[in-house]
A and B are shown apart, each in its own frame.
Chain A
Amino acid sequence: MTDRTRIAVSRALLASAVILYLPANAIPVMTISLPGQVDDLTVLGGVEELYTSGLVPVAGIVFLASILVPFLKILALAWLHALQGSDRQRRARLIIHGFLAKVGTWAMIDIFLLSVLTAVGQLGVLASVQPREGAFFFCALILSTYFSAEVYKPHLIWQESPAEAR
């Protein structure tokens, strides 16, 4: 893949991540059914539920990993692309790129949580957990940001101008 293609693909994936961010957070990712109670939970709803149950540290972890990390990834990628070809803040951009590579996949925590809850939540009317369509959007968001950061290689930060991209 040429550098020019890398930049174009990364930008396209970033654009799709921006589009997916809203449905991923607005459409329910799971339904929890308990006797006399059915809850459709969005990612934020899940955090809110943990918070109101008094599980503040856990709510904090899920909020950080599932809501803040994808949002910060989108912002960081947009910043990297905005400064593409300029010689400004190269060291800072490299640090941000390293951060994207290290923490980016932590957003998968919500999908893994869904997989564990779905596995044990098969007790019929007593307690059941069903995945919902929001999980598709959430997965697509994570994959878009992941591949957008993966395709954008750190050496691109040192390109002097867009014309240098081959």
Chain B
Amino acid sequence: MPAEMRAWLVCKRCLAPCKDRNLSKGEYLRCGRCHAQLKSFKQGNSFNPLWAFSSTALICMVLANTYPILNFEVAGKSQQNLILTGIQSLWSEGFGLIAALVFFCTIVAPTIYLGALWYMGGACTLEARWPGLRLAAKTAAMLESLNLLPVFAVACIVSVVKLRTIGNVTWDMGAFWIGAASLFTLLSMQAHNSGQIEIQLEQSQ
């Protein structure tokens, strides 16, 4: 990219060109038209939180899919469930499309999204030029709104409240890991600054 072009940034939200400049501590660069934040001052290696949060979220994600979420008991008979057993039940009841949607939004999209964040966070932290970084950035942008693990966590709470009107419900370890995975997913989203990563990618090029 020529030097004169590098002096301009394009707002991702409204596509307005905005003049780039060096920032000092506490300063932000905002789009003059839609006020979206384009760039913020970063000191040292500020990609560490993104890498740390996404790594933790990925580990929690694996554990959330391994342990049962809750235990439901009526008249001495009990039933446990994992994220996957809900999907299997919907599938076996003939609701394959809904099962696929739940599978995508609770397992596939969060895992790929967190994987993309982890990859970008790692490359930016180590200032390395790993292959496929642009693809990872695009994937993360595409899947951000489809990562519905926090919504699933709230649905679990609602389901427990509802099931308590029918029988005995006890939380299991999976619920803890779903909560932790949701929390670290939200923290990763907060630490993910796509504009900053874009600048880092340009510089490493």
Contacts and interface: CB of A to CB of B under 8 A. Distances in A.
Given A109-B151, A154-B34, A118 B162 contact: no
B1 interface: no
Given A116-B86, A120-B70, A126-B74, A108 B151 contact: yes
Main secondary structure of the interface of A (DSSP, over half): helix
Interface residues of A, number: 46
A131 B162 contact: no
A115 B162 contact: no
A73 B85 CA distance: 31
Interface stretch (A7-15, A18-26, A55-63): A55-63
A1 to B, nearest CB: 14
B14 A155 contact: yes
Contacts of B62: none
Interface in A117-149: 117-124, 126-127, 130-131, 135-136, 139, 143, 146
Scoring B70, B155, B163, B167 by chain A CB atoms within 10 A of each residue's CB, the highest score goes to: B155
B83 to A, nearest CB: 8
Contact of B163 (A91, A115, A117, A143): A117
B98 A111 contact: yes
Given A116-B69, A118-B90, A50 B98 contact: no
**Residue picked from A50, A118, A154, most chain B C-beta under 10 Å:** A118
B112 interface: no
Interface residues of B, number: 49
B15 A115 contact: no
A150 interface: yes
A112 B102 contact: yes
Nearest to B85: A119
B138 interface: no
Contacts of A105: 105, 145-146, 148, 151
A75 interface: no
Contact of B81 (A110, A113, A116): A116
B128 interface: no
A155 to B, nearest CB: 4
Nearest to B82: A119
Interface of B: 13-16, 33-35, 69-70, 72, 74-75, 77, 79-82, 85-90, 93, 95, 97-99, 101-102, 105-106, 145-146, 148, 151-152, 154-159, 161-163, 165-167
List the 5 closest A-B pairs by CB distance, nearest first.
A112-B155, A115-B86, A119-B81, A119-B86, A120-B72
11 contacts: A105-B148, A108-B148, A109-B158, A120-B70, A123-B72, A123-B79, A126-B75, A126-B77, A127-B72, A139-B97, A150-B145
